Amino acid sequence: MRRNTEDKTLEKNYIQKWRFLIREYELTKAKQHSQFRFITDFYKFHGTNRQTFLKYYHHFKSSGKNESLLPQNEGLNGTQEGL
C-alpha cells in the first residue's frame, strides 16, 4: 500500500499553481499580458482574493523559496491554547 504521508504531489501542485499565478500577475502588472488589461481582471478570472494573493506574492518575493508558497499556520503565535 502506498504511504500518503510522504507523497508531495499536493505540495508540488500547489507550488506550480502559485508560480503560474505569479507569472500571470507580473505580466499583467507590466501591461504585457495578452488577456488581462487590468489587475482586477486577473483576480476575477482566477477567482483570487487580492489580499491573499499579495500575501503569498510578497512572501515569495522576499524569500525566493518555493516553500513560501505553501499554506502556513498563522494561528495563536505558536501557543497551543485549547489543549
Examine residue 62 and state whether it is found in any structural domain, yes or no: yes
Residue 38 inside a domain? The answer is yes
pLDDT at 41 over 80: yes
The residue assigned the cell 487590468 is: 38
Instruction: Please report whether residue 46 resides in a domain.
Output: yes
Asked, for residue 50, whether it belongs to a domain, the answer is: yes
pLDDT for res 33: 93
Q: Write out the three cell numbers for 32.
A: 504585457
Q: Quick one: pLDDT band at residue 83, thresholds 50, 70, 90? A: very low
Domain that residue 56 falls in: 33-66
Domain count, the chain: 1
Q: Per the domain annotation, does 60 fall within a domain?
A: yes
Please give the model's pTM, rounded to 2 decimal places. 0.74
Task: Look at residue 57 and tell me if it is in a domain.
Answer: yes
In a domain, 56, yes or no: yes
Which three-class secondary structure state does DSSP give residue 83? coil
